[in-house]
Structure 1
Amino acid sequence: MDGEPLKLPATTEEVQALLKRIHVDGVGYEEIFITNYETDVPGLRDCLGEYESIDELNYLASLLDDMEEWELEKFSAAVDFGEYNSVPALINLTQNLDCFEFYAGIENEEDLGRFYIDEMCTLEIPEHLTNYIDYEAYGRDMSMDEYGRFTDGGYVVRTGDSFTEFYSGRDDLPEEHRIFAYPKPEKLSIRDTLKQYQQMIDNAPAPQKAHIAPACEER
């Protein structure tokens, strides 16, 4: 089994060159599958299968490439919810990051409690009582109430904004991301064409000779 890496976003020419190297010409061999994904976005690999559309993957890769670092962090945290486990869903997620709030560095319930009380001022605590506050319990209650989630990079929670479906399938795929194409057949020179024709003649089976029995006259 032949395999080659393909870095996305890619071009049609790069895809054709790869298919040529692994001997997939669209005639003798048509099917390809993806054995592994390499990505800097945690959790993304678990959302992708071996028979994904190269065109859709290319579109997703382009959208991720255009993101700033804070947007990638929020995207990665939203992926951790586990609800976006297809390429179309991930494409839509890139366009709906305003549906999430991400607080980097908030690693546990105590961090969350301190953040909400000290930074967001969700509770007015007299200074002489601050040492008696159970920040962990408060953070736990908040995360349960708002269905938040702790991720590798921080804490993510939904804002309540409606999630809009911008992409519903390959019919919505921008033309510049339709990159999958089989290699073009190579044009043979006249000499190679004659050589190929001669090989066909040489390999053809010899014609069978007909045996005709002589007729006998009746006496």
Structure 2
Amino acid sequence: MDKVFRVELFGEKTNRWCELELPATYYGLLDALDKLQMTLGEKPRWEFLEHHGFVFLQDHLAHECDLYQLNALATCLGQMNGREKTAFEGLFNMEVAKKYGPISVATMIDLAYSTDCCHVVNASTDEQLGRFYAENDFIPALDKVPDPIFEYLDFEKLGRNARFEEGGVFANGGYVTQHNELKQVYDSLALIPEAPEYGIRLTVGKCPSHSDEQPDNRMCLDLPATQERLDAVLEAYGGASWSEMSVQVEDSAMPALLESMDCNDVHELNELAKCFKEMVAQGDLSTYKAVILAADCHDIAAAVRIAENLDDYLIEPDQRTPEEVAVEELRFIVDEHSRSILQKHIVLYSYGKDVMASNNALLTPYGLVQRRDGEPIRSEEMQAEKAGMEMM
């Protein structure tokens, strides 16, 4: 699915912020809200950072459009092919011509789901439109025009007349006319996505014989999966082994984790997906993400080990900047009156950094992380290597 918008999100009750590409999956939305210390359903403020097409919508997408409405619109737009994008722009231009003021996001969503209610012609001017209609017998009055006279016709006038009669409009990709009633989708649309059954979603396919080719007939594989399901996928590709398969991560409970990992081992990914689902069920997903980042984990097996030893770590979700660490430390060592005085004379940033260093703690977008035993947080790869050396 194509990305449509990049937005910056701001917490309503906190000074947290983050960026998010739309459309976003359930896990993508959840991750962004975790960084804002908000829960699914709460509505952060947002601002556009970038449009990947559909720039003409910007002036109409005002802030009464919330994140979930914007994501629902982006989800539909991101699945469009070239013809559908042209049809949507045409429908939108027709709607703009009908009224004054911004078009509501509800109307935009209805338009986005109504692109099959249109005809799209490859024409960008009245002259091209008139010629197309004349050559394809859409103007009955021209049926008896002799061929030698045909090229002398005023195609521009023919096209303009047809456009006015049909109420059609030109868009970037062609000429658009509406031939059916628009679909009314918005009122029945679930704007907040439901939690998926999977922890990781893959698309898989058999590796092509030539490296410059793309795998054919890719299929979706949701993890965790049973061994029977994994075997069935291989059987669908002629009994190939997983070493012959191309694996691509489409979505996961930790959107950023798998981007920097080698994800070709389906069995390792399956174990990691089980960890994800367990973390979600126990309400520990934010903690898990924080520890993964703090440990600088880039290995699937190491990520599984972290899940198995998550109780070794402490997280303070309310401490996400050195200043917040400093203020919280002062709460423990002085009374409220003294703290309010001290804060005026202390460089909180520097003090917070020193507190973190003394506690071997690290900041993440999800909170402050440290080990319960006070030891430094080492990368899981280093710890595994050290354990291996001790066994030799």
Same fold (TM over 0.5): yes
Of 180, 183, 191, the residue aligned with 1:164 is 183
Instruction: Return closer, same or farther for 1:201/1:95 CA change in 2, 3 Å cut-off.
Output: closer
Q: Which residue of 2 aligns with 1:155?
A: 175
Of 163, 168, 185, the residue aligned with 1:143 is 163
Q: Which residue of 1 aligns with 2:78?
A: 65
Q: Which residue of 2 aligns with 1:87?
A: 105
Q: Which residue of 2 aligns with 1:9?
A: 23
Q: Which residue of 1 aligns with 2:53?
A: 40
Write out aligned runs for 1:108-187 (5 A).
Answer: 108-122=125-139, 123-124=142-143, 125-159=145-179, 161-168=180-187, 172-176=189-193, 186=317
Contact 1:58 1:177 (C-alpha < 8 Å) held by counterparts:
no
* Structure 2 unmatched runs, 5+: 1-14, 97-101, 196-285, 288-315, 320-325, 341-392
SS in 2 for 1:34: strand
Contact 2:168 2:176 (C-alpha < 8 Å) held by counterparts:
yes
Mapped partners of 1:115, 1:177: distance in 2: 47
How far has the Cα of 1:117 moved from its partner? 0.4
SS in 2 for 1:6: strand
Is 1:98 the counterpart of 2:116 in the alignment?
A: yes
Which structure has more relative contact order (CA 8 Å, sep 6+)? It is: 1
Contact 1:75 1:94 (C-alpha < 8 Å) held by counterparts:
yes
How far has the Cα of 1:90 moved from its partner? 1.2
Q: Which residue of 2 aligns with 1:216?
A: none
Q: Which residue of 2 aligns with 1:209?
A: none
Is 1:203 the counterpart of 2:203 in the alignment?
A: no
Q: How many pairs are equivalent?
A: 187
Q: Which residue of 1 aligns with 2:355?
A: none
| 1:163-196 superposed Cα distances (whole Å, 9 cap, x missing partner) | 231212xx74244179xxxx997278xxx97863
Contact 2:126 2:159 (C-alpha < 8 Å) held by counterparts:
yes
SS in 1 for 2:121: strand
Instruction: Return closer, same or farther for 1:187/1:44 CA change in 2, 3 Å cut-off.
Output: closer
- Greater strand content: 2
Question: Which of these two proteins has the greater Rg computed from alpha carbons?
Answer: 1
Of 52, 69, 87, the residue aligned with 1:74 is 87
Mapped partners of 2:60, 2:48: distance in 1: 14
SS in 1 for 2:73: helix
Contact 1:56 1:173 (C-alpha < 8 Å) held by counterparts:
no
Mapped partners of 1:74, 1:57: distance in 2: 20
Mapped partners of 2:334, 2:95: distance in 1: 58
Q: CA RMSD in A?
A: 3.5
| 1:40-82 superposed Cα distances (whole Å, 9 cap, x missing partner) | 1241223211342101111111111222232122212222224
Instruction: Return closer, same or farther for 1:15/1:2 CA change in 2, 3 Å cut-off.
Output: closer
What is the one-letter code of the residue matched to 2:22?
A: L
Mapped partners of 1:37, 1:46: distance in 2: 13
SS in 2 for 1:81: helix
What is the one-letter code of the residue matched to 1:68?
A: N
What is the aligned-residue identity percentage? 23
Contact 2:60 2:104 (C-alpha < 8 Å) held by counterparts:
yes
What is the one-letter code of the residue matched to 2:118?
A: F
